[in-house]
Copies of this chain bind each other. A is one copy, B any other.
């Protein structure tokens, strides 16, 4: 899976948009490798093979490119997860699939994954955006009688942090291949799903979906 995610989708765009895409790609790589603070604008520009001043033609400062990148990643991921779950009504399945797909998809694009992980840490708005989708499924599960919990910000934060833990493990390379299923199973148990059902649902086959991040409206 390519690491040039904005760039690859931008071949047909104008020169300006391609430069912008190259800068965002470079920023993703560097934010992921070095973190936001340690990544320098000059190095982003160098990696994008443009002059340092060109950076400022497209972005006001490092903060701006960071939030643009984060929004682009999050928006794209969210959209694809949504699409991949169209037609699934059962909240237990939806919840499990969401976690598994998220970890698997992002885990397959390590640069992005790390960038997203940091972004979730840095931009609370991102957490909130993810939380919105989540809350819907959790409440649906309660309504369906499958979940036996109080759906509130604490639960959502805990749930999200579990996903992040799985993503972190996947990205660090030390985790077993089925880590996404393990995390999903633990989540279902936490939500009140009986252990055997939790185990079964979190392990059932999942059609492969390929992640392809393309520039958003942003």
| Alpha-carbon distance A181/B189, docked complex (angstroms) | 18
Q: Does A138 reach chain B (CB closer than 8 Å)?
A: no
Residues of the B chain whose Cβ atoms lie less than 8 Å from the Cβ of A195? 148, 192
Contact of A186 among B158, B179, B182 (CB under 8 A): B158
Report the stretch among A8-16, A69-77, A149-157 that lies at the interface: A149-157
Contact with B along A157-173 (1 / 0, CB 8 A): 11011101110110000
For A189, give its contact among B182, B183, B190 (CB under 8 Å).
B190
Copies of this chain in the oligomer:
4
Any B CB within 8 A of the CB of A175: yes
Q: CA separation between A171 and B162, bound complex, in Å?
A: 18
Check B154–A160 contact: CB distance below 8 A.
Answer: no
Contact of A158 among B149, B154, B183 (CB under 8 A): B183
* Contact in complex: A158, B153 (CB < 8 Å): no
Known A37-B37, A154-B183; further 4 A-B contacts with Cβ < 8 A: A148-B195, A153-B169, A158-B183, A161-B164
The 6 closest A-B pairs by CB, nearest first: A161-B165, A37-B37, A190-B190, A161-B161, A154-B182, A157-B165
30 contacts between A and B (CB under 8 A): A35-B37, A37-B37, A148-B195, A149-B186, A152-B176, A153-B169, A153-B174, A154-B175, A154-B176, A154-B179, A154-B183, A155-B182, A157-B169, A158-B162, A158-B165, A158-B166, A158-B182, A158-B183, A160-B165, A161-B162, A161-B164, A161-B165, A161-B168, A162-B162, A186-B190, A187-B190, A189-B189, A189-B190, A189-B191, A190-B190
